[in-house]
A and B are shown apart, each in its own frame.
Chain A
Amino acid sequence: QVQLQESGPGLVKPSETLSLTCTVSGGSIARYYWSWIRQPAGKGLEWIGRIYTSGSADYNSSLKSRLTMSVDMSKNQFSLKLSSVTAADTAVYYCAKVGGGNNWFDPWGQGTLVIVSS
Chain B
Amino acid sequence: EIVMTQSPATLSVSPGEGATLSCRASQSISSKLAWYQQKPGQAPRLLIYGASTRATGIPARFSGSGSGTEFTLTISSLQSEDFAVYYCQQYSSWWTFGQGTKVEIK
Instruction: Pick out which of these stretches binds chain A: B19-27, B61-69, B73-81, B95-103.
Output: B95-103
Instruction: Verify if A94 is at the interface (C-beta below 8 Å from B).
Output: yes
- Which chain B positions have C-beta within 8 A of A46? 97
Interface size class of A (residues with CB under 8 A): 20 to 34
Total residues of chain B contacting the partner, CB 8 A: 22
Could you tell me the dominant secondary structure of chain A's interface residues? strand
Tell me, in angstroms, the Cα distance from A45 to B4 when the chains sit together.
11
On whether the beta carbons of B34 and A110 are closer than 8 Å, the reply is: no
**What are the 5 tightest A-B residue pairs by CB atom distance, in nearest-first order?**
A108-B43, A106-B46, A104-B34, A47-B95, A45-B97
Q: Which residues of B contact A (CB under 8 A)?
A: 1, 32, 34, 36, 42-46, 49-50, 55, 87, 89, 91, 94-100
On whether the beta carbons of B97 and A47 are closer than 8 Å, the reply is: yes
On whether the beta carbons of A100 and B43 are closer than 8 Å, the reply is: no
On whether the beta carbons of B49 and A47 are closer than 8 Å, the reply is: no
On whether the beta carbons of A111 and B43 are closer than 8 Å, the reply is: yes
Nearest chain B residue, comparing its CB with the CB of A94:
B43
7 more A-B contacts (CB under 8 A) besides A45-B97, A94-B43, A108-B44?
A44-B98, A44-B100, A47-B97, A61-B1, A100-B50, A105-B89, A106-B55
On whether the beta carbons of A110 and B100 are closer than 8 Å, the reply is: no
Chain B: minimal CB distance from A92 (Å): 9
Tell me, in angstroms, the Cα distance from A12 to B96 when the chains sit together.
26
Contact flag A47-B94 (CB < 8 Å), given A105-B44, A105-B46: yes
- Which chain B positions have C-beta within 8 A of A107? 46
